[in-house]
Amino acid sequence: RYISAYCAAHDASPAQVALNWLRAKPLVNSVIIGARTMPQLLDNLKAATWDLTALLTQRVGQVFRNFQLSVALGKIRQLRVM
């Protein structure tokens, strides 16, 4: 929700936030975009015109960690059913 609100308030797309989060990672040297259409490409390129705040970088990291945890728990539940 916080990320969606940020996107709306700053005229940014979720893809731009994701790309900038990757760019903010110290061990990431480059980011490969996967645009399939010209509008996607143009949107992705806008990510290079701004940077995430430290707070938003943390929030996106939390969302990513929570997603990884939920995926892992889902896989564990599947294994228990088998």
Helical segments of the chain, H only: 2-10, 14-24, 38-46, 54-81
Give the model's pLDDT for residue 77.
Answer: 75
Give the model's pLDDT for residue 4.
Answer: 85
pTM: 0.75
Give the model's pLDDT for residue 47.
Answer: 94
Give the model's pLDDT for residue 82.
Answer: 62
pLDDT in tens, the chain (82 residues): 778 888 888 899 999 999 999 999 999 999 999 899 999 999 999 999 999 989 888 988 888 888 777 777 777 777 776 6
**Contacts of residue 59, Cβ cutoff 8 Å, sequence gap at least 6:** 2, 3
